[in-house]
Chain A
Amino acid sequence: MSGERPVGTRRARAGDRLLHLYTWLIIIWLSSPIAVMIMFGFNDKQSKSNTTWQGFTLRWYAELFELSDLTTALLNSLVIALVSTALTVVVGTMLGLALGRHRFRGKSVTNFLIFAAISTPELVMGASLLSLFVSGNVPRGAVTIVVAHVLFSLSFVVVTVRARIVTLDPSLEEAARDLGATAWGTFRQVTLPAIMPGVLAGGMLAFALSIDDYVVTSFVNGSTVTFPLWIVGAVKTGVPAQVNVMGTLIFGVGVLIAVGNAVAARRRA
């Protein structure tokens, strides 16, 4: 339609190419710590510090679970992430449905609380939970960590599920009801399959937030140690190479799941 533009097309094309190059540079910058992490998982280091390259080894892969504290911390993180994700998905999907499908009193207060839960700095969230637990003499441990993780993941599940349900045509559900389906049957066979991508996305987000969390967990953990907490604790004395290996494996699994998802989605489409 507009075809050749009168002003500086050649310069414009050079600008685009520069922008393309710049984007790649930023991506390389963003990825460089990942490369470092993977590389130093293969480093044949002799001392505690792991900052200079001393040759290739697979030793840390063979001795992955030699440090029992670290293994326990990783297992704690996985269990806590699974439990808190399951809870968050159920509770958050329910609220997402309520907000996306129904009119009710207290809706704006609910929206405000969801917003407040997202925007409260993690530090303040952790500190206030600790204030509550200290005031109420609540013993801290895995349970309080799960409570906290559900709290900070909840809003994200609610928002993704609500975003999904508002795009779903309500007449589908009405049709199911007209054909004699019960309320539960309609939900199971019509609503849930339709909102599933939103539920899954929210769940993955909740899992990722939980397994990665340091700040909030550091306030409410008591004597339970999670993977991020263990790593920060090890910084002063030198982070063992097993941490790099575990990070590499988590990275690999995460990328595989994401790519697999994308491929599956493309095939469905």
Chain B
Amino acid sequence: MRRLTPYLLALPSWMWLAIFLVVPMVAMASVSLQTGNAIDGFAMTFSFSNYSDAIGRYSTQLARSLLYGALATVAMLVIGYPVAYFIAFKAGARKSMFLFLLLLPFFVSFVLRTISWNFLLSDNGILFGTLKDWGLLPDDFHVLATTFAVVGGLTYNFLPFMILPIYVALERVDPRVVEAAHDLYATRAAAFRRVVLPLSLPGVFAGVLMTFVPATADPINAAILGGRSNTMIGNIIQTEYLTNLDYPTASALSFTLMAVLLVGIFVYARALGTENVLEAAAR
């Protein structure tokens, strides 16, 4: 009985993960090679051309998603690192207050936060409308429906996921190591570059991982802030699945997206060790 315990404990999760994570991937792989339409049904024809067709048709959106995801990730890193550094080394007793304030937006739904940005940035809304009334901005000035709005929205929405893992890594840095660097006549900049930065790199890797993937695949920011000319691959997959009912194209696109992202993830995970990434993800 004792020897059976772990298997009994793991069984429900195994079943859930097998039936609803593994089997659906197989189902999606199968659908991506079928041909047909929603009315007459789909049949397996091993049509690998679904992939080349889908990628050919939507290469712009695929490339745009990767670009926007990458831009947002870089922006998050640049904006977030100093915040993580401040909270880890300089916030003293108020660490948990700062962390709480950082997580405050999560008490509001993702969708609602993005819509609030839509309000805030709308062409004649409280911000730009007022500035236009005062004559400080030209009448045709707008931010919504631009690349900047979408990348800004992504940066905004995922920023805490970049800051937290970096904070966790910095928090673990022993202050005596930094002191030792100073005692050995390192300048502040040198101590940072040669000691603190390298020690924080696992956090940076985890942060990049946790933000680049969801940002690249996110359909919400493009839909709410992007207008018609900033469609990302997430929006295309949604439309193909839910509106056009073109399941093979949608599945092929999903697989392509996942393949591109997963290759990146596993390279990272290898470099870092799965447990570390998971630990960072849990915080």
Enumerate chain A interface residues (CB-CB to B < 8 A): 1-2, 5-8, 12, 15-16, 19-20, 22-23, 26-27, 29-34, 36-37, 40, 50-53, 90-92, 94-95, 97-99, 101-104, 106, 110-125, 127-132, 134-136, 147-148, 150-151, 154, 156, 158-160, 163, 183, 208, 211-212, 214-215, 218-219, 227-228, 231-232, 235, 239, 243, 247, 250-251, 254-255, 258, 262
Instruction: Evaluate contact between A104 and B10: CB separation under 8 angstroms.
Output: yes
What are the 10 closest A-B residue pairs judged by CB atoms, nearest first? A33-B116, A102-B6, A128-B24, A121-B217, A98-B9, A254-B107, A104-B6, A159-B282, A95-B13, A131-B28
Instruction: Evaluate contact between A36 and B116: CB separation under 8 angstroms.
Output: yes
Instruction: Evaluate contact between B220 and A26: CB separation under 8 angstroms.
Output: no
Instruction: Evaluate contact between A258 and B112: CB separation under 8 angstroms.
Output: no
What is the count of residue pairs linking A and B with beta-carbon distances less than 8 angstroms? 271
Chain A residue with the shortest CB-CB distance to B104: A31
Give the dominant DSSP class at A's interface.
helix
Instruction: Evaluate contact between A91 and B13: CB separation under 8 angstroms.
Output: yes
In the bound assembly, the distance between CA atoms of A118 and B274 in angstroms comes to 12
**Cβ distance A144 to chain B, nearest Cβ, rounded Å:** 10
Instruction: Evaluate contact between B219 and A150: CB separation under 8 angstroms.
Output: no
**Cβ distance B22 to chain A, nearest Cβ, rounded Å:** 8
Instruction: Evaluate contact between A255 and B160: CB separation under 8 angstroms.
Output: no
Chain B residue with the shortest CB-CB distance to A228: B111
**Cβ distance B97 to chain A, nearest Cβ, rounded Å:** 10
Q: A8-B188, A158-B13 are in contact. Are A112 and B126 (CB under 8 A)?
A: no
Choose one: A12, A113, A116, A214; the contact of B188 (CB below 8 Å).
A12
**Cβ distance A39 to chain B, nearest Cβ, rounded Å:** 9
Instruction: Evaluate contact between A104 and B238: CB separation under 8 angstroms.
Output: no
Chain B residue with the shortest CB-CB distance to A113: B17
Instruction: Evaluate contact between A131 and B247: CB separation under 8 angstroms.
Output: yes
Given contacts A6-B185, A30-B102, A121-B213, 4 further A-B contacts (CB under 8 A): A98-B5, A102-B9, A251-B107, A258-B107
Instruction: Evaluate contact between B106 and A208: CB separation under 8 angstroms.
Output: yes
Chain B residue with the shortest CB-CB distance to A98: B9
Instruction: Evaluate contact between B7 and A250: CB separation under 8 angstroms.
Output: no
Instruction: Evaluate contact between B27 and A135: CB separation under 8 angstroms.
Output: yes
Instruction: Evaluate contact between A111 and B274: CB separation under 8 angstroms.
Output: yes
Instruction: Evaluate contact between B251 and A19: CB separation under 8 angstroms.
Output: no
Enumerate chain B interface residues (CB-CB to A < 8 A): 2, 5-7, 9-10, 12-14, 16-17, 20-25, 27-28, 30-31, 79, 82-83, 85-87, 90-91, 96, 98, 100-102, 104-120, 122, 124-126, 129, 156, 159-160, 179, 182-183, 185, 187-188, 209, 213-214, 216-220, 223-224, 234, 237-238, 241-242, 247, 250-251, 254-255, 257-258, 261-262, 265, 269, 274-275, 277-279, 281-282
Instruction: Evaluate contact between A36 and B107: CB separation under 8 angstroms.
Output: no
Instruction: Evaluate contact between B279 and A218: CB separation under 8 angstroms.
Output: no
Instruction: Evaluate contact between A94 and B13: CB separation under 8 angstroms.
Output: yes
**Cβ distance B232 to chain A, nearest Cβ, rounded Å:** 10
In the bound assembly, the distance between CA atoms of A135 and B43 in angstroms comes to 11
Candidate in B6, B27, B126, B213 with the most chain A CB atoms within 10 angstroms: B6
Q: A91-B12, A218-B242 are in contact. Are A227 and B86 (CB under 8 A)?
A: no
Chain B residue with the shortest CB-CB distance to A28: B101
In the bound assembly, the distance between CA atoms of A2 and B187 in angstroms comes to 14
Q: A33-B113, A228-B110 are in contact. Are A51 and B242 (CB under 8 A)?
A: no
Instruction: Evaluate contact between A31 and B86: CB separation under 8 angstroms.
Output: no
What are 29 A-B pairs with beta-carbon distances under 8 A?
A19-B82, A20-B86, A20-B90, A22-B83, A22-B86, A30-B102, A33-B117, A33-B120, A51-B119, A52-B126, A111-B275, A121-B217, A121-B258, A121-B261, A122-B214, A122-B217, A124-B255, A127-B28, A129-B20, A129-B24, A135-B27, A135-B31, A159-B278, A160-B282, A231-B109, A232-B220, A232-B224, A235-B115, A235-B118
Instruction: Evaluate contact between A243 and B98: CB separation under 8 angstroms.
Output: no
Q: Which residues of B are found within 8 Å of A26, using beta-carbon distances?
A: 79, 83, 159
**Cβ distance B270 to chain A, nearest Cβ, rounded Å:** 12
In the bound assembly, the distance between CA atoms of A68 and B1 in angstroms comes to 53
Q: A40-B119, A98-B9 are in contact. Are A127 and B237 (CB under 8 A)?
A: yes
Instruction: Evaluate contact between A151 and B21: CB separation under 8 angstroms.
Output: yes
Q: A30-B156, A115-B278, A159-B281 are in contact. Are A135 and B122 (CB under 8 A)?
A: no
**Cβ distance A180 to chain B, nearest Cβ, rounded Å:** 16
In the bound assembly, the distance between CA atoms of A173 and B126 in angstroms comes to 60
Instruction: Evaluate contact between B83 and A7: CB separation under 8 angstroms.
Output: no
Chain A residue with the shortest CB-CB distance to B110: A212
Instruction: Evaluate contact between A134 and B254: CB separation under 8 angstroms.
Output: no
Q: Which residues of B are found within 8 Å of A239, using beta-carbon distances?
A: 115
Instruction: Evaluate contact between A112 and B274: CB separation under 8 angstroms.
Output: yes
In the bound assembly, the distance between CA atoms of A199 and B98 in angstroms comes to 24
In the bound assembly, the distance between CA atoms of A227 and B112 in angstroms comes to 10
**Cβ distance B244 to chain A, nearest Cβ, rounded Å:** 13
In the bound assembly, the distance between CA atoms of A238 and B25 in angstroms comes to 37
Candidate in A8, A91, A97, A183 with the most chain B CB atoms within 10 angstroms: A91
